[in-house]
A and B are shown apart, each in its own frame.
Chain A
């Protein structure tokens, strides 16, 4: 089987049905000296070759076996992207155990549920901070026997039992290997393609998180198809900088890594990601819209204080790029020669340097997904000549449902179904998917599983959308959120919120109107953007809620809302759901206060009840309302903030609907 793997692997990417550990061994055989991962550590990019990695993994697996980890056990991974955490993930899979990556910024309390639900046996953590968290919840999780840490800073003198460093684990592994030679290898060979291989907890917008169980097959098959379609291979470079707990990170930097045998690069620390990105210059890149947003904001801000000459140059060429950049990238033949010439010049003067500054010079393929992306934001990167594409998917579908094919990329669609994936729209507008990448089940939750997967194996995404003329999928909103106004007109809050969030000054928005006669919404200003805006108008402000309450800021936001209304008015379906009133919240919506999910999706229901007073005030047409709210601070303490918020009216467009 191993041999066939070698023979079958043209250009190095694996095409056989191998489990992840088997992939690793195959690469270790095929390209022992090629770099598997690099980590910026002690100032240089420390490289781990495939052979070194497999050695480490095998020994680590032996160590875990020595600690009694068995097929089907669950093991938690908590921490930043670190080579030895990745290694431990494969190691666990070697033994047929199931790794459960978790968000490193989750507070101890949130972890308890997952630890109990998945009955975690062993936790592999990055450092002292995570160790302390796990120790905190230890009593509540009886099955948890071992805590294994990577970085021993500050941990040397921990006396508690059941805590050891990965180094210790590796030593234990060496001994175990002597005692039971070949045991680990055997376990790897026994591993089946359709065995469970990982579990991801979806921070459901309501209720407890659910454990999404994936098999090697479900993670590998669609990822492999896409890899072939997009021409990924061993030569590619990826920057692993997003949380391991998030399915996307696992697809792009784990599944596709072990399939294609490319190199993943791990940043030195959260603060240095930008620098490290510049150095590595990934060829295959993924970023959720908010990251791209942040990047664009920094670009704009830094250009603000550039010399006037440079600024006008920048403006001129960005305008040019906006006009033709995207079309050139799509290979549009109608772009005139002189325009191409100008673009070339611009590429030399602005685009090239900018790509270099952003660390995107070498990008061949970049994806964005997770939430809807603003058209301006999206086209900005494409106009620079960066092949940024959207895709559609979820944890349950192992990401790959739709991908925008090269040359047919538009801001408002998510592209066409990936080969091997069937997509249908039900009568109620909900999107349903059948794919080899579907989850096997929700862990210990058959009824939830049944809810989302019907008899014919269709997975109900819960998203509402439709295919346009070219067969590109268009997402409107969560199906269940698509509601009706009192007059029966369609009301798609997420759609409205996204339109608002596309304005740089608006960080979050929450729209309400279900069953009501009109639409009102909460707004969170983007502190950085508004702050800069205020400073440029030398408008003094004390802090977030002071700025948020400024009349000038209200006017600023009001313009955004009015524009959104104008937009909505153009779409006959949505014309009625224009915003009539809004207010700017006095605090930022925060995952720690359960107002957002860890992936920063708004939890509308929760917010609705938390801020009931405000809602009533808005719908009853008051022009201001006093409110007091509980907040949780980083250190876990709680306190209260109170404010009297102004409620502003927005301008609704009339009659345009017919015109459109």
Chain B
């Protein structure tokens, strides 16, 4: 099946450097992301992949560099603004809301779109009730999309790991993002779970045209599904290009010797 045509550069990361008390996490990283593409960031553990994402959605503030999104340039991002601009994110080690069930977790991804004020909610008549229902339907479509109908009212803490990952993705999708940052979406999954997750990622990119930036360990997966790949090692960029280009890149090969999957 044909994938969406890849468009202009939408997210441009320039010369990002980040360090924690002298420890350099990222050094002068630059790369860009195009509309509708699937962009992978790979690299050994501690290469600074997660830190990169954390800079993009404002958890960390880089000491140097700038991030340009749809023409607007920032020297540091603010989580709220990032969310409003339509950048969503899933997490490496699950960051679900343990105390809530699947529906509420995904529903919480809709909070930016819910407008009724606190009094209306307290009375829960008219607008508030209608709003809840409208968004519940959206959430149900996501649940349907991710094929987790059987667990919609289960507290997420009770779900097996693989399903929690899906809920995490669901919460991000609920934001109807333009860019989706996936932090090791397939870490610690078995083959089937990985296949499912791949399918979902591709379907998201395919059906909603969402641009996807993903960090992944499993080289096989990355090479299969991504259009372009950035390779980090010890906080430095050592490769950038199509999977094939990267595969044949000397530095990458040496960095991955032994550690490659």
A and B touch in the complex (CB under 8 A): yes
A residues adjacent to B (C-beta < 8 A): 41-44, 153-154, 156-159, 268-269, 271-272, 275
Contact indicator A157/B1 (Cβ below 8 Å): yes
Contact indicator B144/A42 (Cβ below 8 Å): yes
Contact indicator B140/A43 (Cβ below 8 Å): yes
B residues adjacent to A (C-beta < 8 A): 1-2, 103, 136-137, 140-141, 143-145, 147, 149-150, 152, 203, 206-207
Q: Smallest CB-CB separation from A158: which chain B residue?
A: B1
CB of A80, distance to nearest CB on chain B (Å): 13
Q: Which of A157, A159, A275 is the one whose CB lies under 8 Å from B150?
A: A275
- Complex Cα–Cα for A84 and B145 (A): 19
**B residues within 8 A CB of A153?**
145, 203
- Complex Cα–Cα for A158 and B103 (A): 32
Contact indicator B1/A154 (Cβ below 8 Å): yes
A-side binding surface: helix, strand, loop or mixed?
loop
What are 13 A-B interface contacts by the 8 Å CB criterion? Answer: A42-B141, A43-B103, A43-B136, A43-B140, A153-B145, A154-B206, A156-B207, A157-B206, A158-B1, A269-B150, A271-B149, A271-B150, A275-B150
CB of A547, distance to nearest CB on chain B (Å): 23
- Complex Cα–Cα for A43 and B2 (A): 31
CB of B173, distance to nearest CB on chain A (Å): 14
- Complex Cα–Cα for A18 and B71 (A): 67
Contact indicator A43/B207 (Cβ below 8 Å): no
Contact indicator B149/A157 (Cβ below 8 Å): no
Contact indicator A43/B1 (Cβ below 8 Å): no
**B residues within 8 A CB of A156?**
206-207
Q: Smallest CB-CB separation from A40: which chain B residue?
A: B149
Task: A272-B150, A275-B150 are known; give 12 further A-B pairs, CB within 8 A.
Answer: A42-B140, A42-B144, A43-B136, A43-B143, A44-B140, A154-B1, A154-B206, A156-B206, A158-B1, A268-B149, A271-B150, A272-B149
**B residues within 8 A CB of A275?**
150
Contact indicator B203/A42 (Cβ below 8 Å): no
Contact indicator B141/A154 (Cβ below 8 Å): no
- Complex Cα–Cα for A159 and B103 (A): 35
- Complex Cα–Cα for A44 and B152 (A): 12
Contact indicator B1/A269 (Cβ below 8 Å): no
Q: Which of A154, A158, A159, A269 is the one whose CB lies under 8 Å from B149?
A: A269
- Complex Cα–Cα for A444 and B144 (A): 43
Contact indicator B137/A42 (Cβ below 8 Å): yes
**A residues within 8 A CB of B140?**
42-44
CB of A520, distance to nearest CB on chain B (Å): 40
CB of A40, distance to nearest CB on chain B (Å): 8
- Complex Cα–Cα for A364 and B128 (A): 41
Q: Smallest CB-CB separation from B143: which chain A residue?
A: A43
**A residues within 8 A CB of B206?**
154, 156-157
- Complex Cα–Cα for A43 and B144 (A): 9
CB of B22, distance to nearest CB on chain A (Å): 50
- Complex Cα–Cα for A156 and B144 (A): 17
- Complex Cα–Cα for A158 and B207 (A): 12
Which 6 A-B pairs give the minimum distances between C-beta atoms?
A42-B140, A43-B140, A157-B1, A271-B150, A157-B2, A272-B150
**B residues within 8 A CB of A41?**
144
Q: Smallest CB-CB separation from B141: which chain A residue?
A: A42
- Complex Cα–Cα for A44 and B145 (A): 16
CB of B164, distance to nearest CB on chain A (Å): 18
Q: Smallest CB-CB separation from A272: which chain B residue?
A: B150
**A residues within 8 A CB of B137?**
42
**A residues within 8 A CB of B2?**
157, 159
**A residues within 8 A CB of B143?**
42-43
Q: Smallest CB-CB separation from B137: which chain A residue?
A: A42
Given contacts A154-B1, A158-B1, A159-B2, contact A43 B149 (CB under 8 A): yes
